[in-house]
Chains A and B, each alone.
Chain A
Amino acid sequence: MRDVAIVGIGQTPVGEHWDRSLRDLAVEAVLAAMDDAHVRRADALYVGNMLSGTLSFQEHLGALVAEYAGLEGIEAVKVEAACGSAAAALRQAVLAVESGRVEVAIAVGVEKLTELASKCTTNALAMAADADYETVMGLSFVAINALLMRRYMHEYGVSKEDFAAFTVNAHANAQHNPFAMFRAPVTRQQYAAAKMIADPINLLDSSPVSDGAAAVVVVPAERAREFSEKPVRVAACEVGTDTVALDNRANPLWLKGVERSARRAYRRAGVGPEEIGVFELHDAFSIMAALSLEASGLAEPGTAVRLANEGAITPRGRFPIATMGGLKGRGHPVGATGLYQVVECVLHLRGEAPEAVQVENVQYAMAQNIGGSGATVITTILERLTP
């Protein structure tokens, strides 16, 4: 096994890209990452995506994206793990290069959610849940998170209004990110007045339906400086799983998949939660931000919402999260999100994040991508390599 590094990053703006297809978005991100790493070829391509078959009637993305990115002929496959697909693709790229079988690997996450009417997208996203026992009851993916949020409020005596801190932070940061979908701040008053979707989750608790693609180039760490002046070491990229259906978990408020994935990542990287300078977590809903902080060891159970209200999660706080907007503000093109998070962590470690949100002297940054309501979790810890 050898160390691996990220030497190139690429991302498209997140938004409703009516004028661009799945392959357009994927190719743009791949080419941007290749340009950033000054490479013209690669040995393997791993494409993270959740819903291309359902919403674009297109599967077989590995070969398709390779062909259109000018990489025809190389090893290329699609990797699917619901909203965790992109980081799951990164995991495959990391394993391939670590093993010595592949020299230059590209991981790209791509999602095109605005292709069909929004009803179709809502139904498609619910495929991350258990079709036979959850979805058939009229449960949308939003509603699953609402069940968690209601119980959290009940068990820990937290009010709905207290969750506003996550939304306000995400949007305040997104306004500085040129790739973010929403570039305007949101107030607590706007949060309180937002339309209810599945009580207690309102529109401003929820990440938007979006299109986008993000990519990275992975190479052996010993060769990293051939490609980049500011390579970033992949200290860990670890997967943990849990039950798909929420009702099969003894304590749904403790995300075991997150705990398993984060623990494996800390152990592999040889660091603890206190050494993480930036944490790009999976805030698909406000409640997921709280539960992720707790199961990742950054907050005691039941305390994450209070810490958020004390300012701990802002770029100048103790553990900055959603520094470029998170899923809430940057947007959540589901099968691409995990690589947006990783690209944002790399920007922090390079010192190239937008000035207003750049966290100073970051040695370790962590990205955590979640599939479903916590069934697949991939935690990636990245380390700055000093010249």
Chain B
Amino acid sequence: MDIPRNWRLREQRYRLQGTRCTACGECHFPPRHVCPRCKGRALEPYRFAGRGTVYSYTVIYQAPEGFEQYVPYVVALVDLEEGVRVTAQLTDVDPEEVTIGMPVEMVLRKLGEEGERGLILYGYKFRPRIEGSAGGGP
């Protein structure tokens, strides 16, 4: 039951907020303390648009504790337009239809729950991009 941790991560989970280096312009997700590119320390919050493509994916049949009821589900590495890669579940898609390179957009969904009386966790997932959609960013 880690309430403080999940509360701390709300800007990341709900809004895909990372950091941007004010010196070199590099964007990061997760947020950084030191820019991995130029080692600069002056970073500002940066919200990603939530649009990207699938770099790789896996269909999970044997799930970790707390995720058993969702199998089979898809977890992907998603390349965001801003040049950052994130790990997230894909949703609203048949696992058979997922391909590398597929355009996807962020949506806010339930990630899981910590038992019957525990926290319900919400956060980013990605779905196939819908034509004409402004993109998944909140």
The residues of A with any CB-CB pair to B shorter than 8 Å are 119-120, 122-123, 126, 132-140, 142-143, 146-148, 150-151, 154, 195-201, 245-248, 252
Contacts and interface: CB of A to CB of B under 8 A. Distances in A.
Given A132-B5, A147-B57, 6 more contacts: A122-B62, A138-B67, A151-B55, A246-B87, A248-B85, A252-B56
A141 to B, nearest CB: 9
A150 B70 contact: no
Contacts of B49: none
B64 A147 contact: no
B63 A137 contact: no
B102 to A, nearest CB: 12
Interface string B72-86: 010111000000011
Contact of A140 (B57, B59, B62): B62
B46 to A, nearest CB: 16
B100 interface: yes
Contact of B100 (A139, A151, A245, A247): A151
Contacts of A122: 62, 64-65
A146 B88 contact: no
A320 to B, nearest CB: 30
A188 to B, nearest CB: 22
B121 interface: yes
B75 A147 contact: yes
Given A247-B77, A247-B85, A247-B86, A140 B56 contact: no
B68 to A, nearest CB: 9
A195 B111 CA distance: 26
A230 B43 CA distance: 56
B60 to A, nearest CB: 5
A147 B87 CA distance: 10
Contacts of B64: 119, 122-123, 126, 135, 138-140
B77 A140 contact: no
A198 B87 contact: no
Given A143-B58, A147-B57, A246-B87, A138 B121 contact: no
A270 B86 CA distance: 39
Closest 9 CB pairs of A and B: A146-B58, A151-B56, A138-B67, A199-B59, A247-B85, A147-B56, A198-B58, A197-B62, A119-B65
Contacts of B23: none
Contacts of A151: 55-56, 77, 100
Nearest to B121: A136
> Which interface residue of A138, A248, A252 has the most chain B CB atoms within 10 A?
A138
Given A132-B5, A245-B87, A247-B85, A138 B65 contact: no
A122 B70 CA distance: 17
A150 B57 contact: yes
Contacts of B85: 247-248
Contacts of B138: none
Nearest to B73: A138
Contacts of B12: 132-133
Nearest to B101: A154
A156 to B, nearest CB: 13
B70 A138 contact: yes
Nearest to B79: A247
A166 B36 CA distance: 35
A151 to B, nearest CB: 4
Interface string B22-66: 000000001000001000000000000000000111111111111
Nearest to A134: B87
Nearest to B124: A137
B71 to A, nearest CB: 9
B89 interface: yes
Contact of A143 (B66, B70, B75): B75
Interface string B117-131: 000010100000000
A120 B65 CA distance: 8
